[in-house]
Structure 1
Amino acid sequence: MADLRKDPLPVGYHPLPPGHLANVVTCLEMTARPALRPAPEQGFTLARMGAADTGRFRNLFRAIGQDIMWFSRLMLEEEALAAIIGDADVQCFALVKDGHDVGLLELDFREDGQCELSFFGVVPSAVGGGAGRFLMNEALTRAWAQPITRMWVHTCHFDHPAALGFYQRSGFRPYAVMVEVHPDPRLTGQMPKHASPQVPLIGG
């Protein structure tokens, strides 16, 4: 694991390259299986996705992430995305209700003894209806059924305002804060110009 204390930013304001965004990222972890919080049974099921499901994955990724600046997987070629979600050490699921995909869960076990909760989210219409808690309980149960000693996730200030508190109530604890600088995906074509309207678009 990288040393997150190396080369910290100095105090003060720092200009960004034109066309870039700064993303404040909070890293969280847990080192023991937590108690699960109550989740209402509302007809949710999980459908495993694999290498042949890149189209389904991208559609769900966009539906969840368009307004919270999810873009990383949109930058991947089909072969690269298929290799990840088809990897035997990656568990990728669509959360399904009434025949519709309403959530995404990806658990990455490619590092020995660890699980990264690499993608977790529900579509906007499912927020607040119990889908997130059901999905988190599934994530925790499946992750800690494996021989791991650590589960981790990161969230950022572009995410839903309730995300950080939700992760903490689920048993994760913050351990680092970082700043990620990246090209604005609305300017590079990965996302439409109207995506994430709460994030100022400069240069578009």
Structure 2
Amino acid sequence: MRETVTYVHMTDQDQFRPAAAVPGLALAPLDRRSPLVVELQARIGAPYGWGSAVRTAPEWELWFARHPDRAFWLLSHDGKPAGLLACDLHPDDEVEIDTFGLVPEFVGRGLGGYALTLAVRQAWNLTPAVRRVWLHTSSVDHPAALPNYHRRGFSTFKVEEGEGA
């Protein structure tokens, strides 16, 4: 299957266009040892063929070891786990949003714009000196993902075509 991977970024907080607040939607730090980190990544990625949906326990151990500084946040709606944010701080004060998404039962309920708003605010506030926030999305991800990123103020800086999963 052909896959298009699109890389988007913001290079200034003034580019950020927040969505309207959704009552009950919140973002809170999540300990990397929480079983929710694995569970939510698997559930978010399953409909889109993400590797996180099929990783074995030993593969998760290796994944965590390769990303010792990755930080996680739980998206919740009315107190129920609704999604996940994971960020990596890179050299030159760049933040990569590595994982962002909602679990299937919260998709299509009008939460994505504000969920991304919360995620982008967190990414910009990861350290006082953040100068760029970026991520990538795929054509096999949810069809609303890329338009949502653009609506929030991200601009495309690279596109790659290739064979997907």
- Say whether the fold is shared (TM-score over 0.5): yes
Correspondence 1:133 to 2:113: yes
Q: CA deviation at 1:139?
A: 1.8
Q: For 1:48-101, what per-residue CA distance to the aligned partner results, in whole angstroms no more than 9, with x for missing partners? A: 223312x312211122111112115754723333346652xx321121123321
Once the two structures are superposed, what CA deviation does each residue of 1:18-40 show, in whole Å capped at 9, x if it has no partner? xxx54221111111113432323
Please tell me the root mean square deviation across aligned C-alpha atoms, in Å. Answer: 2.4
Which residue is 1:42 aligned to? 23
- Indicate if the aligned counterparts of 1:85 and 1:92 stay in contact, CA closer than 8 A: no
- Pick the aligned partner of 1:62 from 37, 42, 50: 42
Q: Can you list the C-alpha shifts for 1:94-120, whole angstroms capped at 9, x where unaligned?
A: 211233211111121133310111111
Query: In the aligned structure 2, how far is the partner of 1:149 from the partner of 1:140?
Result: 13
Structure 1: runs of 5+ lacking an equivalent: 1-20, 185-204
Question: Retained in 1: the 8 A contact 2:137–2:146?
Answer: yes
Moved more, 151-160 or 55-64: 55-64
29-38 or 169-178, larger mean C-alpha shift: 29-38
Map 1:63-78 → 2, pairs under 5 A:
63-72=43-52, 74-75=54-55, 77-78=59-60
Normalising by structure 2, we get a TM-score of 0.82
Q: Which residue among 26, 29, 33 is the counterpart of 1:52?
A: 33
Aligned to 2:140: 158
Distance 2:89 2:162 in 1: 24
Kept after mapping to 2: 8 A contact 1:115/1:151: yes
Asked if 1 retains the 8 angstrom alpha-carbon contact of 2:43 and 2:53, the reply is no
Alignment partner, residue 170 of structure 1: 152
Q: Deviations over 1:123-147 (max 9, x none)?
A: 2332243422222122221222231
2:44 aligned counterpart, secondary structure: helix
Query: Which has the larger share of helix?
Result: 2
1:50–1:91 Cα change, 3 Å: same
Say which one has the larger Rg: 1
Give, in whole Å, the separation in 1 of the partners of 2:114 and 2:49: 23
Question: Counterpart of 2:84?
Answer: 104
Tell me, which stretches of 5 or more residues in structure 2 are unaligned? none
Once the two structures are TM-superposed, the CA of residue 165 in structure 1 deviates from its matched residue by 0.8
TM-score after normalising by structure 1 = 0.68
Distance 2:131 2:21 in 1: 28
Aligned residue pair count? 160
Q: Which structure: greater strand fraction?
A: 2
